[in-house]
Amino acid sequence: MSPTQILEIEDIEKHFGGLAALDGVNAHVESGKLTAIIGANGAGKTTLFNVITGILPPSAGRVKFLGQDITNKPVHEISKLGLARTLQIKSVFNGMTVRENLWIAAQSRDGVFKPFQRASASSRANQVADQLCEELGLTQFANQEAANLSYGDIALLEIGIALATEPKLLLLDEPICGMGPAETEQTVEKIRNLAKRIDIVIIEHDIEVVFEVSDEVIVMAQGKVLARGTPAEISTNAEVRTAYLGDDDDA
Ligand SMILES: Nc1ncnc2c1ncn2[C@@H]1O[C@H](COP(=O)(O)OP(=O)(O)OP(=O)(O)O)[C@@H](O)[C@H]1O
Ligand SMILES: [Mg+2]
């Protein structure tokens, strides 16, 4: 265990009735590296995030975060330890401004949302909201309703909401899904910048983005880890090419 393993996943199983969505997953995330999870639809990627973050209890196995066993801990406790995620389906408060969305997320970090507490007590949340607007390039939209944002900026706001809890590890579920090339490029750049100060695991289908952005790639297939390695190792792995990348030069 030489590089710090911020997340350890040991023999995780998750069954839905007769379906083994996760069928003995062993994986780890090293601090300081941007880790990508790839795999076909239904491979179990989102389910793995759900188990890690406490949304779903695993049928078997353990999850450790910063060396601490977090298996079966409630979502808010795991969040408090410094683990945050975004959802595959975008979810922000549409009727609120960008700033309000971030402010509420920052306020709720301590578990209880206190909308009527004294203004001075919420100055930390104000600061966090402003910093996140700045970092994510959303300052110009700070006072606009989230409903009016472009798709790419909604994705950034979602990342901001997750960051407002000041996590140590951030899990992103297909953050660029549905974006055009320009938006993709901008968002990828921001994710890269974020990865300098926070550990990130990204689920992503776009293999070019994955190879560009990540240091480590975990390939999942049918509820298992098929392979793990650097982008260079994964792109030349024969098993991965056959099972996932579709080794067909004529396509
Ligand atoms: N709550 C649930 N109840 C029953 N089956 C589920 C549930 N969640 C996921 N599944 C099933 O578990 C399997 C893995 O689903 P999961 O969403 O984890 O895949 P994924 O790798 O994220 O796929 P995608 O790339 O399409 O997002 C699928 O067969 C899915 O239908
Ligand atoms: Mg998914």
Parent domain of 108: 90-166
What atom of ligand 1 comes closest to residue 48's alpha carbon?
18
**Average pLDDT estimate for 169-180:** 93
**How much is the pLDDT for 248?**
53
Task: Report whether residue 43 contacts ligand 1, using a CB cutoff of 6 Å.
Answer: yes
Strands 60-65 and 35-38: unpaired
Confidence of residue 251 (pLDDT cuts 50, 70, 90): very low
Q: Are residues 150 and 50 in the same domain?
A: no
Query: Does residue 103 form part of some domain?
Result: yes
Q: What is the mean pLDDT of residues 30-48?
A: 96
119: which residues sit within 8 A by CB, 6+ positions away? none
What's the pLDDT tens digit per position in 69-125?
Answer: 999 999 999 999 999 998 877 778 889 999 999 999 988 765 555 555 555 447 888
Q: What is the whole-number distance in angstroms between the Cα of residue 120 and the centre of ligand 1?
A: 44
Q: β-strands 169-173, 83-85: how paired?
A: parallel
Whole-angstrom distance, CA of residue 230 vs CA of residue 211: 9
Strand partners, 7: 29, 65
Does the beta carbon of 223 sit less than 6 angstroms from any atom of ligand 1? no
Q: Are 162 and 213 within one domain?
A: no
Judge if 76 and 176 occupy the same domain: yes
Task: Please check whether residue 215 lies inside any domain of the structure.
Answer: yes
Our mutation pick for probing the ligand 1 site, out of 12, 13, 15, 47, counting the most ligand atoms within 8 A of Cβ, is 47
Across residues 38-67, what is the average pLDDT?
97
pTM given for the model: 0.92
Q: Are residues 78 and 174 in the same domain?
A: yes
4 and 125 inside one domain: no
Give the distance from CA 39 to its chain's centroid.
Answer: 15
Residue 23 lies in a domain: yes
Residue nearest to atom 9 of ligand 1 (CA): 47
Q: Relative to the CA of 42, which ligand 1 atom is closest?
A: 19
pLDDT, position 100: 94
Query: Are 7 and 59 in a shared domain?
Result: yes
Same domain as 206, residue 128: no
Q: Are residues 2 and 106 in the same domain?
A: no
Residue with tokens 């992103």: 172
pLDDT of res. 241 = 84
Q: Kindly state if the Cβ of 14 falls inside 6 Å of ligand 1.
A: no
Other Cβ atoms within 10 Å of 77 Cβ, number = 12
Average pLDDT on 50-72 reads 97
Distance 28 CA to ligand 1 centre (A): 21
- pLDDT > 80? residue 156: yes
Query: Is residue 250 very low, low, confident or very high in pLDDT (cuts 50, 70, 90)?
Result: very low
Q: Which ligand 1 atom lies nearest to the CA of residue 44? A: 18
Cβ of residue 16 lying under 6 Å from some atom of ligand 1: yes
Q: What is the CATH number of the domain that holds 220?
A: 3.40.50.300
Q: Is 231 in the pocket of ligand 1 (CB under 6 A)?
A: no
Tell me what percent of the residues of the chain surpass a pLDDT of 90: 75
What residues are paired with 22 via a beta bridge? 14
Q: Are 125 and 103 in contact (CB under 8 A)?
A: yes
> How many domains does one find in the chain?
2
In a domain, 190, yes or no: no
Which pLDDT value is given to residue 120?
Answer: 47
Q: Considering every ligand atom, which ligand is closest to the CA of 18?
A: 1
Q: Do 150 and 110 share a domain, yes or no? A: yes
> Do 123 and 27 fall into the same domain?
no
Do 125 and 19 have their domain in common? no
In order, the DSSP letters of 46-104 are HHHHHHHTTSS--SEEEEEETTEE-TT--HHHHHHHTEEE--SS----TTSBHHHHHHH
Residue 188 lies in a domain: no
Do the beta carbons of residue 48 and residue 37 sit within 8 Å?
yes
Alpha-carbon span 25 to 56, nearest angstrom: 15
Measured from the CA of 50, which atom of ligand 1 is nearest? 18
Give residue-wise pLDDT tens across range 185-204.
Answer: 999 999 999 999 999 999 99
Q: 206 with 177, same domain?
A: yes
246 band by pLDDT with thresholds 50, 70 and 90: low
Choose the weakest-confidence range: 114-128, 141-155, 203-217, 228-242. Answer: 114-128
